[in-house]
Structure 1
Amino acid sequence: MINLIWFFMIFIGIITSFLYNPIDFSTIIAQSAESTVKLCISLLGIMAIWSGIMKLCEKSGLIKIFYAVLKLPMKILFPKLEYKNERALYYIVMNLASNMLGLSNAATPFGIKAMEELQRINTNKDTASDYMVKFIIINSACIQLIPATVISIRANLGATSPSSIVIPTIITSAITLIIALVLEKVFRRWFI
């Protein structure tokens, strides 16, 4: 159903734009395609660098420091998980460390591995476990310490101070995470 809604929205937008001014429509499409390709290529470089840095951090043992720092809060958020599946907890910490550094693309493989490990201990395979739901919430509303992707996009688009968003991002993402965790507790009581 959602695919049909998106299709009609895009289709109606294209037809309306084309009927309104076909010359501008073609020019805008060409310019948008060109700027999109340029942006994607510049982001590929940034993502490759940060993914490599995360791999180096993992190989050098720096990730173990992240793991040691984040393990206590994760034990509180995911009680008894380390006894059920410590690899799941490790992948969750890796995912959150990557997200905190603003490396969402580098965090994705760790998130997938974490969900696979959480599925192994899930007693009801057709339904997301409480651990899975909480991980999705924390992953989606993770605190951003260094929003590297956004900073690189702002720099590529010519912002005069691309890193000026760091403090507002930390504050906003921290508030979002707190609200998300509170709502998770509230909804769990109402619906379970």
Structure 2
Amino acid sequence: MATIGLDSIYYSIITDGESGETYATPVKLAKATKADLSVEFSEGTLYADDALCEAVKEFKSAKLTLGVDDLSAAAASALTGATIDQNKVLVHNAEDSAPYVAIGFRAKKSNGNYRYYWLYRGKFGIPSDSLETKGDSIKFAEKSIEGTFMRREKAGDDGSHAWKAQVDADDTGVQTSTISGWFTSVYEPDFTA
């Protein structure tokens, strides 16, 4: 079913350990205006006996561009590694190192239900600004921030390394607790019987 909305963008800072990622409690990022997700694949083909006999397409990485109404200094600092000085000024340094984060959000579907997402491991660059002088009409300027996402370090119960989780609230068999707790912690895949 088609989506007609977007809201509730959260981020969670990742701490890496010997057993993989540990996710901090998710924090609301900002009001959402857009989320563009594009996926890159590694591909390979094998030709034999004058014909294609095998093709492989594997996940490589994903680019997420988020549009938000504004980005607080605290959120920009958390996502990009920039610092906030004693005067509460956000300072981007050449030596900044962005932390790994997980990003969650939801999209409203045309039937009124929601589709929920978590992207498990990514890094963001410095947010872009598009500013314009005020003319005859008012135009809003929004913030845009782009991140590159990859697979998790931590293997799931089935031995695989997830990069994204997605669920529709109205899918058959989806637990109410899965939806109600979606933004209270980063969703952990469960492949146990």
Greater helix fraction, Structure 1 or Structure 2? 1
Larger Rg computed on CA atoms: 1
**TM-score > 0.5 by shorter chain:** no
Per the normalisation by structure 1, the TM-score is 0.25
Per the normalisation by structure 2, the TM-score is 0.25
Tell which has more relative contact order, 1 or 2 (C-alpha 8 A, sep 6+). Answer: 2
Greater strand fraction, Structure 1 or Structure 2? 2
